[in-house]
Amino acid sequence: MGVTAFGYLGIGVSDMERWREFATTGVLGLEETEVAEDGTVYLRMDEYHHRFALHPTGENDLVYMGFEVPGEQAFEEMAQKLRKSGVAVTPGTEEEKANRKVVDLIKFKDPSGIPLEIYHGALQLWERPFKPSRNIAGFKTKADDGTQMGLGHTVLFIKDMKATEAFWRDILGMKTSDYIDLDFALPGLGTATFFHCNPRHHTVAFVEMNVPRFLQHFMLELNEFDDVGHTYYKCQDEGVPMSMNLGKHTNDHMLSFYLVSPSGFDIEYGYGGRLIDDSKWTVQKHIAPSVWGHRPVQSAGAPAS
């Protein structure tokens, strides 16, 4: 038992107007669901009310990650498991439940201090079908058999790999996908660990680095490769800052490129990630992040302060 999907991501942004344009018609193609009274901008990519909440609080980093469990029983079991493991768990307030659009949530932190939430009962808007804000064929958030795969994946900077692995594997119930020894290509970065909690190859990955932010990048998976291709050239034509050009990853086989978000962290825009069937998967190791491509782009924009 464990979490089953990365359901929502809260980001604290400083330049809200630039973000709104970037996330919708400018680049990503997400749909704005609503703007709350406190200025929070909700963005959707499928039937869920939102997958991203942009808060005008200026951190330019993640402010929480929300993980889904199938229902109330699993929710209570996870809360108990966390408490038994000595993790300080805070129940979500009525205001937070209303803000996240879920039936219930708990809040806690991982060993690096990453603010995490587990929830059940997310609001879905089937009566208001998802409409991409650009002419794209939408985002892959489910396997072909309907299994929930969440909003994508994220790579996080953490302080202590051993403690992080133990927490996410033994308490949150994630399974190791593979390892990439980054030292071969990028000396000093050590080994990144990739975890999954549904068929998506990885939902989170960790790089041990002492930097003042958690989020290295998050990934959005498109339904059509052409949408990655034409967005790649649209970004080049329009001077949207990129950090890595088109390439294919060794471990999840994602065909993707990397944009620099208005908050300075990266966003991977990809297609074709391979899926994991736990009955057949064996943990693997890689010494290169990419089969080809993903070369650094020199003109990458400077991170926001």
Task: Select from 60-68, 164-172, 176-184, 212-220 the region that touches Fe ion (CB under 5 A).
Answer: 212-220
The distance of closest approach from Cβ of residue 95 to Fe ion in the complex, given in angstroms and rounded to an integer, is 33
Question: Is-contact 46 130, C-beta < 8 A?
Answer: yes
* Angle value at C-alpha 94, between 12 and 91, nearest 5 degrees: 80
If binding is defined by CB under 5 A, does position 62 make contact with Fe ion? no
If binding is defined by CB under 5 A, does position 219 make contact with Fe ion? yes
Q: Are strands 90-91 and 61-68 parallel, antiparallel or unpaired?
A: unpaired
Query: How many chain residues are in contact with Fe ion, going by CB under 5 A?
Result: 2
If binding is defined by CB under 5 A, does position 82 make contact with Fe ion? no
Alpha-helix runs per DSSP H in the chain: 16-21, 72-84, 94-100, 161-166, 225-238
The distance of closest approach from Cβ of residue 40 to Fe ion in the complex, given in angstroms and rounded to an integer, is 26
- Cα(7)–Cα(152) distance, integer angstroms: 9
Task: Select from 54-62, 214-222, 228-236, 259-267 the region that touches Fe ion (CB under 5 A).
Answer: 214-222
Residue whose token pair is 């889904």: 68
What is the x/- site pattern for Fe ion, positions 235-274, by CB under 5 A? Answer: ---------------------------------x------
Across 59-130, the runs of DSSP E, i.e. the strands, are 61-68, 90-91, 102-109, 115-122
The distance of closest approach from Cβ of residue 170 to Fe ion in the complex, given in angstroms and rounded to an integer, is 24
The distance of closest approach from Cβ of residue 229 to Fe ion in the complex, given in angstroms and rounded to an integer, is 18
Q: Which residues bind Fe ion (CB under 5 A)?
A: 219, 268
